[in-house]
C-alpha cells in the first residue's frame, strides 16, 4: 500500500526555524523526501492537499547530527526564491546522517546547488545594504521620517533588518519591497507585507546635494566600466538618485581624464613649506633600532640624509599591505604625490592603476614605493618641474628602501624605471638591456625591470604610446603569472 503524503507548512518564505523544526521531526521519523510537500502560509497544497501534517518529534531521545556549517548554509538557502530550496535542504539533511563530510564534496550536485543559492543570497544582502536610498517624508505625527524602495531578488528582508536597525537606530524609517517591508519607529521593528513602488516617494530636497557631491567625487581616471557594472548592476540604477548622472559622467570620463593629466602641477602654500622646514630643523631622525614599519615611516618624516628634504613638502613613504607578495619601486614622488603624501596618485599613478587593472592585477595587494622619498624639482614660475635624482640622492635613500624590503619581504620586486633599477642593483646602464630578463637581488628575491608609467605620458606619438603601453601591460601580466596572488578576484 502506498504511503500517504505529508504537508509541511511554513509561516513565511524565509522561515528557517519552521523548516528546521519540521525537518528534524520528519528526519527522525525517517520520512522520505518524496512524501513531503513544503508549503508557505495558507497556500494550496497541490497533490498533497488535505493530507497529514508532520509527525511530532519522537520522545525516545534520538538526535540528528549536522555540522555547524550546514546550519549556516541552510539559513542562507531558505532565503532563496527557488521553490525547491526546502526539499533540497531536507535531502542534504538526510544524507549528512550517512555522509558526515558531504558538504566538503564540492563536486556533488546537491552541495553545489545549495552553495550557489547561498552565494546568490549573500550577494543580494550585500546589494541591499549598499543600494538602499532613504528619502525624507513627513510622518503621521508630522515629524521627520524616511522611506526607501528596494527590489531584492530573494527573501532577504527579515535577514538584513538587523543591519538597518543598528545603522539607522536614531531615525524613523521604512524600507518597502515587493516581498516584505520593514518599519522602524525608533524603538521597535515591525515586519509588514510587500508594497509597490508607488507607495515610496520619488525625490526629496537632499538629493540635489547628494547628486552634486557624487558628481564632484567621481574620478574619471579610475573609471572601470566593467568592474563598476559588476559591483553595481544596471538593474539597481533606476532606484538610485545619482543614476541620472552615471551615463553622462561615463561619456565625459575620457576628456576629463585627459585634462587631469595635462593640468599643470601646483605649488604648495608658502606656509606649508615654512612649517615643513621648521619641523625638519627641530627634529633629528632616529634611524637606529627601527624594528617596525611604523617606526621606519615615522622616522623617515624627518629624514635629512640629502638636501632634497629642504624643498619638498614632505617625505612620501611606501604604501600597501606588509604581507604584499609584490613590491613596485618607482623613481620619486611627483608634484601631486608630494602634496598628498602618498605614492603614485598623480598622472603617472593613474596610468599605473589603469594598466595594472587591464593586466588583471589588484593594486590593493601590492606594496608601492619609490627609490627616493622626496620630490626633486626645478621651479619655473609657479610650476614645479620634475628633476631626476642623482646618484648621491639615490644612495642616501637606499637606507629606507632597504628597510621597506626587510619589513615587507616580497616574493617579487618590480623596478619601474632606470632610477629604481639603479637603487635596487647599482646598475647604471640601459634599462632596455635588463628588461624582460629574469633578475635576482642580493638576498635572492626575484626582480623584474620595466619602464616607469611617466615614460608613457612623455611619448608624443599616439602610435608609439599605444605600442609601449602594450609592452608595459605585458610586463605586468608577467608579474601576474609569476605571482598569482596579485591577480584581482
193 within a domain of the structure (yes/no): yes
With b for 16 or more beta-carbon neighbours within 10 A and e for fewer, the 286-323 pattern comes to ebeebeebeebbebbbbbebbebbebbbbbbbbbbeee
Per-residue pLDDT at 59: 56
441 within a domain of the structure (yes/no): yes
207 within a domain of the structure (yes/no): no
Per-residue pLDDT at 259: 74
Do 254 and 362 lie in a common domain? no
Do 145 and 179 lie in a common domain? yes
Give the full edge-to-edge strand order of the sheet including 326-330: 366-370, 326-330, 412-416, 446-450, 439-440
pLDDT at 96 over 70: yes
Percentage of residues in the chain having pLDDT higher than 90: 63
Domain boundary among 74, 100, 126: 126
Distance CA 127, CA 151 (A): 10
Supply the CATH number for residue 287's domain. 3.40.470.10
Percentage of residues in the chain having pLDDT higher than 70: 87
Name the residue with higher pLDDT: 4 or 120. Answer: 120
What mean pLDDT do residues 14-19 have? 94
Give the 3-state secondary structure of 162-189: HHHHHHCCCCCEEEECCCEEEEECCCCE
Domain boundary among 82, 97, 126: 126
Do 110 and 157 lie in a common domain? no
pLDDT at 284 over 50: no
Domain boundary among 68, 91, 126: 126
Least confident among 30-34, 85-89, 150-154, 245-249: 245-249
Name the residue with higher pLDDT: 56 or 126. Answer: 126
Could you read off the pLDDT of 208-236 as tens digits, one per residue? 666 777 777 777 777 777 877 777 777 77
Number of domains in the chain: 4
Do 321 and 175 lie in a common domain? no
Per-residue pLDDT at 233: 76
Q: What is the mean pLDDT of the chain?
A: 86
Do 117 and 139 lie in a common domain? no
Longest CA span, the chain:
100
381 within a domain of the structure (yes/no): yes
Per-residue pLDDT at 286: 46
Per-residue pLDDT at 212: 75
Give yes or no for a contact between 67 and 103, defined as CB atoms under 8 angstroms apart: yes
446-450 and 412-416 beta bridge pairing? parallel
What mean pLDDT do residues 135-145 have? 81
Do 182 and 57 lie in a common domain? no
What mean pLDDT do residues 382-391 have? 90
Q: What is the dihedral of CA 206, 211, 217, 221, to 10 degrees?
A: 170
* Domain membership of residue 350 as a residue range: 270-486
Per-residue pLDDT at 49: 46
pLDDT at 48 over 60: no
pLDDT at 443 over 60: yes
pLDDT at 142 over 50: yes
Do 418 and 284 lie in a common domain? yes
Do 186 and 168 lie in a common domain? yes
Do 139 and 78 lie in a common domain? no
What mean pLDDT do residues 21-28 have? 92
Distance CA 338, CA 72 (A): 49
Name the residue with higher pLDDT: 181 or 245. Answer: 181
The model's confidence at residue 136, banded by pLDDT at 50, 70 and 90, is confident
Do 368 and 226 lie in a common domain? no
60 within a domain of the structure (yes/no): yes
Per-residue pLDDT at 31: 92
Name the residue with higher pLDDT: 258 or 109. Answer: 109
The model's confidence at residue 484, banded by pLDDT at 50, 70 and 90, is very high
Do 225 and 314 lie in a common domain? no
222 within a domain of the structure (yes/no): yes
210 within a domain of the structure (yes/no): no
What mean pLDDT do residues 236-246 have? 72
Per-residue pLDDT at 419: 95
What would the grid cell of residue 143 be?
A: 515629524
Distance CA 348, CA 422 (A): 20
Radius of gyration of the chain (CA): 31
Do 374 and 288 lie in a common domain? yes
Amino acid at each position: 500500500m502506498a504511503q500517504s503524503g505529508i504537508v509541511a507548512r511554513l509561516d513565511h518564505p524565509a522561515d528557517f526555524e519552521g523548516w528546521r523544526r519540521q525537518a528534524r521531526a520528519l528526519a527522525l521519523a525517517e520520512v522520505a523526501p518524496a512524501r513531503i510537500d513544503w508549503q508557505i502560509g495558507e497556500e494550496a497544497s497541490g497533490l498533497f492537499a488535505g493530507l497529514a501534517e508532520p509527525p511530532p518529534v519522537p520522545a525516545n531521545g534520538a538526535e540528528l547530527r549536522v555540522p555547524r556549517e550546514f546550519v549556516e548554509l541552510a539559513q542562507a538557502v531558505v532565503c532563496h526564491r527557488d521553490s525547491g530550496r526546502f526539499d533540497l535542504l531536507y535531502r542534504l539533511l538526510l544524507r549528512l546522517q550517512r555522509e558526515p563530510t558531504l558538504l566538503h564534496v564540492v563536486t556533488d550536485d546537491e552541495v553545489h546547488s545549495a552553495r550557489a543559492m547561498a552565494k546568490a543570497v549573500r550577494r543580494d544582502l550585500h546589494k541591499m545594504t549598499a543600494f538602499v536610498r532613504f528619502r525624507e517624508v513627513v510622518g503621521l505625527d508630522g515629524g521627520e521620517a524616511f522611506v526607501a524602495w528596494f527590489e531584492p531578488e530573494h527573501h532577504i528582508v527579515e535577514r538584513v533588518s538587523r543591519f538597518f536597525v543598528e545603522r539607522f537606530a536614531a531615525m524613523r524609517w521604512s524600507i518597502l519591497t515587493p516581498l516584505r517591508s520593514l518599519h522602524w519607529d525608533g524603538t521597535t521593528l515591525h515586519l509588514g507585507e510587500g508594497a509597490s513602488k508607488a507607495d515610496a516617494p520619488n525625490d526629496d530636497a537632499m538629493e540635489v546635494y547628494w547628486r552634486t557631491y557624487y558628481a564632484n567625487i567621481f574620478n574619471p581616471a579610475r573609471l572601470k566600466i566593467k568592474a563598476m557594472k559588476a559591483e553595481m548592476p544596471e538593474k539597481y540604477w533606476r532606484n538610485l538618485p545619482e543614476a541620472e548622472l552615471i551615463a553622462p559622467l561615463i561619456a565625459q570620463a575620457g576628456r576629463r581624464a585627459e585634462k587631469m593629466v595635462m593640468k599643470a602641477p601646483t605649488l604648495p602654500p608658502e606656509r606649508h613649506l615654512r612649517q615643513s622646514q621648521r619641523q625638519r630643523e627641530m627634529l633629528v631622525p632616529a634611524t637606529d633600532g627601527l624594528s617596525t614599519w611604523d617606526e621606519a615611516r615615522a622616522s623617515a618624516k624627518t629624514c635629512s640624509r640629502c638636501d632634497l628634504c629642504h624643498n619638498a613638502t614632505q617625505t612620501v613613504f611606501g604604501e600597501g599591505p606588509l604581507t604584499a607578495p609584490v613590491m613596485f619601486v618607482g623613481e620619486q614622488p611627483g608634484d601631486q604625490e608630494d602634496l598628498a603624501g602618498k605614492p603614485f596618485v598623480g598622472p603617472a599613478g593613474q596610468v599605473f592603476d589603469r594598466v595594472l587593472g587591464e593586466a588583471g592585477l589588484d593594486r590593493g595587494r601590492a606594496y608601492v614605493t619609490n627609490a627616493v622619498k622626496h620630490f626633486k624639482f626645478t621651479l619655473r614660475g609657479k610650476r614645479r618641474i620634475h628633476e631626476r635624482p642623482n646618484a648621491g640622492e639615490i644612495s642616501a635613500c637606499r637606507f629606507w628602501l632597504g628597510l621597506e624590503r626587510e619589513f615587507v619581504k616580497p616574493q617579487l620586486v618590480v623596478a619601474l624605471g632606470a632610477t629604481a633599477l639603479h637603487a635596487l642593483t647599482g646598475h647604471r646602464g640601459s634599462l632596455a638591456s635588463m628588461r624582460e630578463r629574469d633578475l635576482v637581488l642580493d638576498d635572492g628575491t626575484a626582480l623584474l625591470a620595466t619602464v616607469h608609467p611617466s615614460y608613457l605620458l612623455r611619448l608624443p606619438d599616439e602610435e608609439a604610446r599605444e605600442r609601449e603601453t602594450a609592452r608595459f601591460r605585458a610586463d605586468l601580466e608577467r608579474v601576474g603569472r609569476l605571482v598569482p596572488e596579485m591577480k584581482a578576484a
